[in-house]
A and B are shown apart, each in its own frame.
Chain A
């Protein structure tokens, strides 16, 4: 059996090594797709003609080079930890440093909601399978699953937010005096500042975008939990747990769910990576200063000038997120199921 800590390290190490070819592939593909039809003279004259001779020459110097040279330049700078820059000179790395934590915070918050609401709902659905409780839960998660993100986000921002008195824009209220942002996660920074009103304000701002993201994706958690609970409930060890004299709550949540979670975790891991990419619309609607909003900007959304280095960076980060979320799910799977061998 390989279930010691060192086996786990080897397991994680191997998976991280697999990340390298994946990332390389993603970088090559996005680079080619974004630069293939690019002519420096068109690009630079269209966007930077009025920006001054300096920017124009910068643009031509960068995008006038042969494609392989451009790629080589990009790759070497990336290896040195430099995500590149927009033509205007704005650093992509600086943007990502600030925006990625904000998005991670949003995703974690909605993942938290999916877990604490979606999984128990799945248990309830399995418990009352085919009966009224099951139908109610199904209506709830299917209405989330069937809601287009843009529609859900906009409806919540326009109607639900004012009705609940919750803010629908940004991370903090404008009245808040700037304070040090150590992590760039709004709630965490407010807590680190030991400022209770700021923390409440940050949580208030987080609730709506996180809830929309969670509501739309909750179906996966609920449905998977329901399905795997239905698989587990007729098993002998559930009957043994009942026969021990445990109440139904402990039978369901300690004995059955513990095993049903093994499957649910895998699927949640797959979803978590996708959640990051799913934030584009939500961040734009709720003006959340995260990577999703940035993704919209770098491809020219809202009339901004296209930023190729930024676009590649966003795609690479989304790819990393998917792989890392999968890795996390694999590790969790191993922790949850004692039969998994890490070797």
Chain B
């Protein structure tokens, strides 16, 4: 079995704002394996974006702070990495696509310069021309892109077949036209028509969908081993959303990275992810293979969430809602955070928070493909209305 690319263990993240402390992420454990797409779903404010940004340590600290837990990325606990070394992990190690494509590109630079910059960062690191970051139990250069080093045999195929140009100029500084060729390759990869024109445009001259494609091209051009997509489609309108999603799905097959896909949209997760984690009020309440979780949810929240999702198979009745409201994360309810809104809640739910345990008495407690639920009465969930 290969080692996970990312292994989050009991992560706690709090925000200290004014006098209050918000428990944004509590006791989240998650493993992502090479070439796996993990989707995290949950409603607004459940801590999924906080989780996404905490992985490359992108959260502003303060106000955010990582209380305890580990974020083990390919053997190194990123929580322990000093701040000045973090940039060496970002980009080539972990890349990210953000929610707001409209503002995520620098308005002062042309598309070419922004993608070329990413390629340059990766190239310099590949060649060892810049300081890189060594860590982990086995001395291993984490800042180098996954594809120049093979980990567990899984990350061997290149995102884009390395062109002749890249091979020829691997060990020297590239000229502008060589960068141009490579930028064009990535623009074509994200299916941009007429990349020669787009190259010279500024972000404000592009549509939202185009900008998001460019963000994706930028992230891919660093050949990361982990790609985090934080709601990459939610700021786009429906038709563009569909295009970007199709693109993401196509790329997932081509790209050799593990992907963490964050969304509040169950449909998006169902289409893209292999495994799904459901978050509620800062906790991971259910985790498992997408098909299984969707077919037989084992947490009352997941069940309610699936029921609330509009579906074309349902009759025209009113949309189903979950009674009550999301708890205030500065004073989360004791025990299971869902119990005030839960039909199955019993006194035990107010005590210790239920652990994320395998359902149906599965022997395996760790590893991939195990359906787990953080509910004391997971066996009763299928019987819920």
Whether A244 and B108, one on each chain, are in contact in the complex, defined by CB atoms closer than 8 angstroms, is no
Does chain B have a CB within 8 A of A336? yes
**Which of A1, A243, A255, A337 lies at the interface centre, i.e. has the most chain B CB atoms within 10 A of its CB?**
A243
CA distance A1 to B90 in the complex (A): 36
Q: Annotate A316-343 by CB proximity to B: 1 below 8 A, 0 otherwise.
A: 0000000000000000000011110000
A254 → chain B, closest Cβ, in Å? 8
Please determine whether A236 and B90 come into contact, CB atoms closer than 8 angstroms: no
Contact in complex: A237, B105 (CB < 8 Å): yes
Q: Which residue of B lies closest to A261 (CB)?
A: B108
In the bound assembly, the distance between CA atoms of A337 and B202 in angstroms comes to: 10
Does chain B have a CB within 8 A of A287?
no
- Bound CA–CA A244/B223 (angstroms): 11
Residues of A close to B104: CB separation below 8 A: 236-237, 239-240
Q: Tell me which residues across on chain A come within 8 A of B106, comparing CB atoms.
A: 237, 240-241, 255, 258-259
Stretch of A217-225, A245-253, A296-304 on the interface side: A245-253
Chain A residues contacting B108 (CB-CB under 8 Å) are: 258-259, 262, 336-338
B100 within 8 A of A: yes
Are B202 and A240 closer than 8 Å at their CB atoms? Answer: no
B105 engages A243 (CB within 8 Å): no
Residues 77-100 of chain B: 1 if any A CB is under 8 Å from the residue's CB, otherwise 0? Answer: 000000010011111110110101
Expressed in whole angstroms, the minimum distance between the Cβ of B93 and any Cβ of chain A is: 8
- Residues A239 and B88 in contact, CB atoms below 8 Å apart: no
Judge if B309 is at the interface, Cβ distance under 8 Å.
no
B117 at the interface (CB under 8 A from A): yes
Interchain CB contact (< 8 A) of B90 among A244, A258, A338 = A244
By the criterion CB–CB under 8 Å, are B95 and A243 in contact? yes
A235, CB-defined interface residue at 8 Å: yes
Contact A244/B100 with A255-B106, A339-B107 known, Cβ cut-off 8 Å: no
Question: Are A243 and B91 neighbours in the complex by a CB distance under 8 Å?
Answer: yes
Q: Which of B346-382 contact A (CB under 8 A)?
A: none
- A338 with B202: CB separation less than 8 A: yes
Cross-chain contact A236 with B107 (CB below 8 angstroms): no
> When A245-B121, A339-B202, A339-B204 are in contact, do A240 and B105 touch as well, CB less than 8 Å?
yes
Task: Check: B103 CB closer than 8 A to any chain A CB.
Answer: yes
What CA separation (Å) do A317 and B248 show in the bound complex? 62
A242 CB within 8 Å of chain B: yes
| Bound CA span A337–B203, Å | 12
- Distance in Å: Cβ of B135 to nearest Cβ of chain A: 15
- Give 1 or 0 for each of A1-35: 1 = CB within 8 Å of chain B CB: 10000000000000000000000000000000000
B105 near A242 (CB under 8 angstroms)? no
Task: Give Cα A79 to B100, complex, Å.
Answer: 58
Contact, CB under 8 Å: A259 / B98: no
The 5 closest A-B pairs by CB, nearest first: A245-B91, A236-B103, A245-B90, A338-B202, A237-B106
Does B105 contact A338, Cβ atoms closer than 8 Å? Answer: no
Q: Flag if B103 contacts A243 (CB, 8 Å).
A: no
Determine the distance from Cα of A245 to Cα of B121 in the docked complex, in whole angstroms: 7
- Judge whether B202 and A239 touch: CB under 8 Å: no
B218 at interface by CB-CB < 8 Å = yes
Task: For A338, list chain B residues within 8 Å (CB).
Answer: 107-108, 202, 204
List the B side residues contacting A248 at CB < 8 Å. Answer: 84, 87
Tell me, rounded to whole Å, the shortest Cβ–Cβ distance linking B282 to chain A.
22
CB pair B118–A244 under 8 Å, yes or no, is: yes
Asked whether any CB of chain A lies closer than 8 Å to the CB of B126, the reply is: no
Q: Which residues of A contact B87 (CB under 8 A)?
A: 242, 245-248
Are A237 and B56 in contact (CB-based, < 8 A)? no
Chain A residues with CB under 8 A of B84: 247-248
Most A-side CB within 10 Å, residue of B90, B106, B205 = B106
* Interface members, chain A 75-105 (any B CB < 8 Å): none
A234 closest partner in B (C-beta): B60
The B39-54 residues at the A interface (CB cut-off 8 A) are none
Residue of A nearest to B122 (CB): A245
B215 at the interface (CB under 8 A from A): yes
Most chain B CB neighbours (cut-off 10 Å) among A235, A240, A246 = A240
- Min CB gap B366→A, angstroms: 30
A sample of 27 inter-chain contacts (CB < 8 A) reads A237-B103, A237-B104, A237-B106, A237-B107, A239-B98, A240-B98, A240-B106, A240-B218, A241-B106, A242-B90, A243-B56, A243-B91, A243-B95, A244-B117, A244-B118, A244-B218, A245-B87, A245-B88, A245-B89, A245-B93, A245-B121, A246-B91, A247-B84, A247-B87, A258-B109, A338-B107, A338-B108
Question: CA A242 – CA B96 in complex, angstroms?
Answer: 10
Q: Does B222 contact A (CB under 8 A)?
A: yes
* Interface core residue of A235, A237, A337, A339 (most chain B CB under 10 Å): A237
Residues of chain B with a CB closer than 8 A to A242's CB: 58, 87, 90
Q: How far is the CB of B65 from chain A (nearest CB, A)?
A: 17
Once the chains bind, are A244 and B98 in contact (CB under 8 Å)? no
CA distance A241 to B104 in the complex (A): 9
Taking CB as reference atom, which chain B residue is nearest A262?
Answer: B108
In the complex, what's the smallest C-beta–C-beta distance from A341 to chain B, in angstroms?
11
The verdict on A235 contacting B90 (CB below 8 Å), with A240-B98, A243-B56, A244-B218 known, is: no
Residue ID in chain B nearest A339 by CB atoms:
B204
CA distance A94 to B104 in the complex (A): 56
Q: How far is the CB of A193 from chain B (nearest CB, A)?
A: 39
Interface residues of A in 242-299 (CB under 8 A from B): 242-248, 255, 258-259, 262
Contacts of A246 in B (CB 8 A): 87, 91, 117, 121
Residue of B nearest to A238 (CB): B106
